[in-house]
Amino acid sequence: MAAVTGAAASPEAVRGWCDRAGMRADSPLRAALLATTEAATAAREAAGGARGLTPEAERELVRRVAEAAAAGAEREVARLSRRVELRTGLGLAAAGLLLLGGGYALGRWDAAARAEAPRGAGFLAEVAELNDLAALRRHCERNAYDHAGRRACALPPVWIGGAR
């Protein structure tokens, strides 16, 4: 900061330094540096001979103006930072709620599918125990559904008609 507030620094020089450093034109730091330099230059010009300030008093005035500009720039950067933090926090909260809702729905769907499995396994065990294919066919015909242009049995997926 000392190089920027020195007597040789001008707003044009600061712009050049910022360009060489690769700072974007909308960078808060660039705006703070330019505002400080412009304020120091204006104070230096206003204080030049008209008020009769000594070089020490002029340096003190420039220092005060630079500190005030730096404090303003810090407030602006803090405000921007809070806004970004709020936006990020809200986005993360929304993502968390979405994951929570998706996990709940998937769990409910999976639980319903798992609840049917023991019943189907019990029926298959009964059919296997009795070795009664006619009972299996009757069950499949009662619980059949259409799938890909054919009729399928609900438990297990035994095809009962419409060969491809």
pLDDT (tens digit, 9 = 90+) per residue, 112-158?
666 666 776 676 666 666 666 777 778 778 878 888 888 877 655 44
Whether 81 and 117 map to the same domain: the answer is no
Whether 142 and 81 map to the same domain: the answer is no
- Give the pLDDT of residue 5: 43
Structurally, the chain folds into a number of domains equal to 2
Whether 85 and 129 map to the same domain: the answer is no
Whether 31 and 101 map to the same domain: the answer is yes
The region of weakest confidence among 5-19, 60-74, 77-91, 137-151 is: 5-19
Is residue 3 one of the residues assigned to a domain? no
Across 68-78, average pLDDT = 78
Kindly report the backbone phi and psi dihedral angles of residue 146, in degrees, each rounded to the nearest multiple of 5, phi listed first. Answer: -85, 135
Whether 37 and 17 map to the same domain: the answer is yes
Sign of CA dihedral 28, 29, 33, 39: positive
Alpha-carbon distance of 107 to 103, in angstroms, equals 6
pTM above 0.85, yes or no: no
Whether 116 and 90 map to the same domain: the answer is no
Domain that holds residue 62: 9-109
Whether 97 and 41 map to the same domain: the answer is yes
Q: What is the pLDDT of residues 2-35, one digit of tens each?
A: 444 444 477 788 888 888 988 887 787 888 788 7
Whether 17 and 95 map to the same domain: the answer is yes
Residues counted in the chain: 164
Residue 150, SS3 per DSSP: strand
* 160 has a pLDDT exceeding 70: no
Alpha-carbon distance of 66 to 58, in angstroms, equals 12
Is residue 4 one of the residues assigned to a domain? no
158: nearest Cα among 145, 62, 149: 145
- Give the pLDDT of residue 155: 58
- Give the pLDDT of residue 1: 43
pLDDT band per the 50, 70, 90 thresholds, residue 86: confident
Instruction: Enumerate residues 6+ apart whose C-beta is below 8 A from 104.
Output: none
Is residue 19 one of the residues assigned to a domain? yes
